[in-house]
Amino acid sequence: MKILEIKDVHAKIGEKEILKGLNLELEPGKVHAIMGPNGAGKSTLSKTIVGHYDVEVTEGDILYKGKSILNMEPEERALEGIFLSFQHPVEIPGVNNAYFLRTALNAKRKHEGKEELNAAEFLREMKKYLEMLGMKADMISRSLNEGFSGGEKKRNEILQMLMLEPEVIILDEIDSGLDIDALRAVSEGINMMKDGKRSFLVITHYSRILDYIKPDYIHVLKDGRIIKTAGPELVAQLEEEGYESIEEEA
């Protein structure tokens, strides 16, 4: 059983076709890395999966646990367990970070028929993860992403992932702009989430994060399609020879 199946998806942003018949399957419990040149359509793929309104799917289908999600609202997909760590998390002035995250978490708990967490219970949890990720305590009261440094934004994405416990986790360049300590903390957070059931789709340009989180598969995305899938050994080849060397597999 696949957890996510992307079947021959064609997708446009505006008039421009960006995904051109993309196929990809995520297996439960596995880490799938996606690499590919700038502008190939990696972020567009992640947006397509989570239902961003900029993207129009013209052909193909996306199945999550066997069911098509193309007609689901973004929040429904999220509540069902699909999470995207954004390449560029947006700033939302005046919205308290903890308040936001508690609202999101309680929406999810409600969806799952669980009790909502009260403020005290929630804060206890949040503090635990803040500490683990080496984040400052003022992240509780600051406005969501507002004025956060690049690294702080990325850690805040991981914090949300840890607390929301999604099942399909898409990480769009989580490693960009991170210093060594941050990279280690973020990787630890990701590894903690591995439970044999969750799958990860890790979009990256660098092998460094892959050394930490040990991908099972490497997919090469070029010009709107997955042109090659291989084991982790492919990373070394890509680093050496670049994307030009990759021939599309039959």
Partner 1 sequence: MAQEEINKAVSGEYSLGFEIDIETDVVPPGLNEDTIRFISKKKEEPEWMLELRLKAFEKWQKMEEPRWGHLKYEPIDYQSISYFAAPKKGPESLDEVDPKILEAYKKLGIPLEEQKQLAGVAVDAVVDSVSVKTTYTEELNKHGIIFCSISEAIKDYPELIKKYMFSVVPMTDNFYAALNSAVFTDGTFVYIPKGVRCPMELSTYFRINALNTGQFERTLIVADEGSYVSYNEGCSAPTRDENQLHAAVVELVAMKDAEIKYSTIQNWYPGDENGKGGIYNFVTKRGICAGDNSKISWTQVETGSAITWKYPSCILKGDNSVGEFYSVAVTTLAQQADTGTKMIHLGKNTSSTIISKGISAMKGQNTYRGLVKIGANAHGARNYSECDSLLIGDQCGAHTFPYLESKDIHGQVEHEATTSKISDEQLFYLRQRGIDEESAVSMIVHGFCKEVFSQLPMEYAVEAKALLELTLEGSVG
Ligand X SMILES: Nc1ncnc2c1ncn2[C@@H]1O[C@H](COP(=O)(O)OP(=O)(O)OP(=O)(O)O)[C@@H](O)[C@H]1O
Contact set with partner 1 (CB under 8 A): 50, 52-54, 73-75, 78-79, 83-84, 86, 89-90, 92-95, 100-101, 103-104, 107-108, 111, 143-144, 160, 164
> Considering beta carbons, is residue 139 or 238 the nearer one to partner 1?
139
Residue at 50: amino acid letter: V
Going by C-alpha positions, the residue among 10, 77, 24, 3 that lies closest to residue 218 is 24
Going by C-alpha positions, the residue among 169, 156, 214 that lies closest to residue 64 is 169
Distance (Å, whole) CA 154 – CA 175? 8
Select from 43, 85, 97, 204 the one that contacts ligand X (CB under 6 A): 43
Residue at 204: amino acid letter: T
Q: Residue 183 binds which entry of ligand X, partner 1, Mg ion, none, with Cβ cut-offs from 5 to 8 Å by kind?
A: none
Q: Segment 4-43, which members bind Mg ion (CB under 5 A)?
A: 42-43
User: Residue 216 Cβ, how far from partner 1 at the closest point, in Å?
Assistant: 25
> Considering beta carbons, is residue 39 or 231 the nearer one to ligand X?
39
Q: Residues with Cβ < 8 Å from 228, sequence gap 6 or more?
A: 219, 220, 234, 246, 247, 248, 249
User: Residue 97 Cβ, how far from partner 1 at the closest point, in Å?
Assistant: 11
Binding status of residue 145 toward Mg ion by CB under 5 A: no
> Which structure tokens are listed for 212?
């930490």
Select from 31, 35, 40, 78 the one that contacts ligand X (CB under 6 A): 40
At residue 199's C-alpha, the angle toward residues 194 and 203, to 5°, is: 105
Site residues, ligand X (CB under 6 A): 13-14, 16, 18, 36, 38-44, 54, 87
